[in-house]
A and B are shown apart, each in its own frame.
Chain A
Amino acid sequence: MNEKFETHEHDVLIIGAGGAGLRAAIEALSQGASVGVVCKSLLGKAHTVMAEGGIAAAMANVDAADDWRTHFRDTMRGGKFLNNWRMAQIHAQESPERVRELEQWGALFDRTSSGDILQRAFGGHTFKRLCHVGDRTGLEMIRTLQDRGVHLGIDVYMECAMTRLLKDGERISGAFGYWRETGRFVVFKAKAIVMATGGIGKAWRITSNSWEYTGDGMALAYDAGAELMDMEFVQFHPTGMVWPPGVQGILVTEAVRGEGGVLRNNDGERFMERYDPEKMELSTRDVVARAIYTEVREGRGTEHGGAYLDISHKPADYVKRKLPSMYHQFRELADVDITQGPMEVGPTCHYMMGGIRVDAESARSTVPGLFAAGEAAAGLHGANRLGGNSLSDLLVFGRRAGLAAAEDAKRRGPVTIDAQQIDEATRELLEPFERAEGESPYQIHRDLEDVMQNNVGIFRNAEDLQKGLMELQKLKERAARVKVEGSRLFNPGWHLARDLKSMLTVSEAVALSARERKESRGAHSRIDHPDYDETWSKQNNIVVRDGDDMKLKQMPIAEMPSELREIDTK
């Protein structure tokens, strides 16, 4: 193989260092595998760090009646029964043990009066179920995992971006990418790879996601032949900040509502009474997001186009203790004291329910040697994710992916790297420097955000989706002619030029799946098909590469076994 590249070799390579990636790494390591973790940012800065509200696990510390069956049922109902039921079952059964494990590794959760882990209410959960640390649960989780992993001996390659999966025949053999710091190329040889790269929020204008969430893992897996599933289901979190402009989209945790916050429109009406009188503010995210959006569209929005979210009826010191980062965020960025008055909030693109199609037990994708967990994988959340189910997802399926990848690696002999694949990947990365003329990647990215926001947003229809797909084709052509200035040394423009390609691939998968699903379900709302459709309740959309074309097919959902069906219909 080509000698001029720095090469590292591991049994298991994990791409992404959020909760899923780190949990996978810890598990693979404990199986005796040599493990490398690659991440685009510094260790500890992945999106998990921004998770606020808590980890859903039926521990029954607060509500004694809770059990995995109720958690399973809530998850299936929240996902409008499109979930992979086996994943929902495993998730509900294993979450409590994963939380206890975190505690044994040093995480410090808020406590009940009897000294157990405290749990709070959240949208769509029947019982108080979210184990939390104020409103910075994700920080606690990622620090615990990162310290555990580092001390066990995982090798972490920080600020390193992967741009291509390498294959040895049908099988994964490694990954190629670049160091952000130096711009030099690097090859990882690996017998198994776990994709834990998170979502695709940066393809939308208003998002809670950071620069990293460009769909890399999904796009790389797709390029390597993996199937993507449920891509039409993009979660718009109901409550992002709407003002001032620079903070638009930044997350306002659902814990505000979990702790008793109420939503009102500009007329002072508690409008959730009209959308979900039973669950009110703690309805599922798809319902609350559409409610706020509708209030604004029909002229009952706030000054800056949102709804009011008010927690100021609670004692000020309680609010500061349970929601400290919200208190600071609004005081410092929006000049609002949330203990005294309401916040202005509106929907923000937050989470991708769809992703790489995996086997429920092993997190194995359809490509041999490739695994996926967390937001990058599909199945658990169906058409809509419940708050709190993401952090538990990362732990449960991160662990399973790490375990299966390590076992897989053990069974495999040595893999070889194909120099031609590296040459192609190298050429792709260098081309933008060589063009004499071309557009800035920032302009193309901005236009992509507008296309997705305007055509593939909360409410959709065939016409918009068709227009979106046509616009995406034009953007693909422009992105192929993108020009990059400067050197290869820590050059964000260059990095964006490559990320754009992944964003465009995944965006197309979203728009294509959304156009096909002619019904409304969960996070996917078609104005032209406002109801559930019986046929679509029994199948998932699957996206797969066919040469240079994207192909869409449908796959029937497996029949639920009777013992689970009984829980479901109870």
Chain B
Amino acid sequence: MPTNATFKIFRGDRDGGELVEYQVPIAPGMVVLDALHYVQAHAASDLAVRWNCKAGKCGSCSAEVNGRPRLTCKTRLDALPLNEPVVVQPMKSFPVIRDLVTDVSWNYRVNKKIPPFSPRKDVEWKMDQRDVDRVQEFRKCIECFLCQNVCHVLRDHNKQEQFGGPRFFVRVAGLEMHPLDAVSRTQLLKDELGVGFCNITKCCSEVCPEEIHITDNAIIPLKERVIDDYYDPVNWFLRKLGGKKAG
């Protein structure tokens, strides 16, 4: 392994910027976030980076490393080709604030639209671990927003106003499949979160650092619920009558 690595890091803001080159000494087991901290401490004290836990638990340090969306705290240098510069850029689907920091506030606005957990009346608070397991997969999400970043509905087609993105399908799945939840969110999925725009390319599942099966376990079952509620004649009729959760 070489003793130094060359990094090309995006420096700039909303008005544009450029890749700036930095030399970083390599230590065993080093990750890209370590390199960014080295640059802050030795070459560019104002390099803007978000990070918190440095252990893949908080989802703060998302960026694009050599064009691939990654948590920089989990991207090892020894897994990258160091004979060429390591290029670190901000997530493309969100507006740049400065350097590697992007404006992810849109995600928080989408989240507000989702009706919270609402337990059934007179519920007994007992649950089977098997039912809980299914939902806990969705609740592993650390909100790194890498899935939002790679989703082509957002990245290429800019459907932020009509589409909620994989992160929020995972969130809705966690609520809809909660064993004791009583609210239906299929209308929200259909009309406001635009689940129909997803054409199941699974890009989101590939980048998820928590290995959540976003497409298979969250989005497809939610699409099925929307179809059942809105396009199945019996359920359509029942919904007209009562408007409650069908399945």
Instruction: Point out residues on A near B: beta carbons under 8 Å.
Output: 41-47, 49-50, 100, 103-106, 108-111, 113-116, 133-134, 136, 139-140, 143, 147-148, 150-151, 156, 158, 181, 210-212, 243-247, 250-251, 325, 328-329, 332-335, 440-443, 446, 484-487, 489-494, 496
Contact = CB atoms under 8 A, between A and B. Distances in A.
B57 A133 contact: no
Contacts of A151: 112, 116
Nearest to B131: A111
Contacts of A442: 40-42, 45
A100 B99 CA distance: 43
Nearest to A324: B140
B116 A148 contact: yes
Interface of B: 13, 27-31, 34, 40-42, 44-60, 74, 76, 97-99, 101, 103-105, 108, 111-112, 116-117, 119, 125-129, 132, 135-136, 139-140, 142-143, 175, 178, 181
B100 to A, nearest CB: 10
B119 A485 contact: no
Given A106-B175, A133-B136, A147 B52 contact: no
17 contacts: A103-B125, A111-B129, A113-B129, A133-B136, A210-B52, A244-B27, A246-B30, A250-B54, A251-B55, A333-B76, A335-B29, A442-B41, A485-B44, A489-B13, A490-B98, A491-B45, A493-B40
A-B interface, 4 closest residue pairs, ranked by CB to CB distance from nearest: A244-B29, A486-B46, A106-B117, A493-B45
Contacts of B142: 49, 139
A49 B125 contact: no
A334 B29 contact: yes
Given A45-B60, A441-B45, A108 B30 contact: no
A148 B126 CA distance: 21
Given A104-B119, A111-B132, A494-B46, A246 B31 contact: yes
A114 B125 CA distance: 11
Nearest to B108: A43
Contacts of A246: 27, 29-31, 34
Contacts of A244: 27-30
Contacts of A493: 40, 45-46
Given A42-B60, A492-B40, A245 B28 contact: yes
A168 to B, nearest CB: 33
Contacts of A104: 119, 125
Contacts of B108: 43, 150, 156, 158
Given A104-B125, A115-B127, A150-B111, A491 B46 contact: yes
Contacts of A441: 45
Given A42-B104, A44-B143, A333-B31, A492 B45 contact: yes
Given A49-B52, A489-B97, 20 more contacts: A106-B117, A110-B132, A136-B57, A139-B139, A147-B117, A158-B105, A181-B98, A210-B51, A245-B28, A245-B29, A246-B27, A246-B34, A250-B53, A251-B55, A440-B41, A442-B40, A443-B41, A489-B13, A490-B101, A492-B49
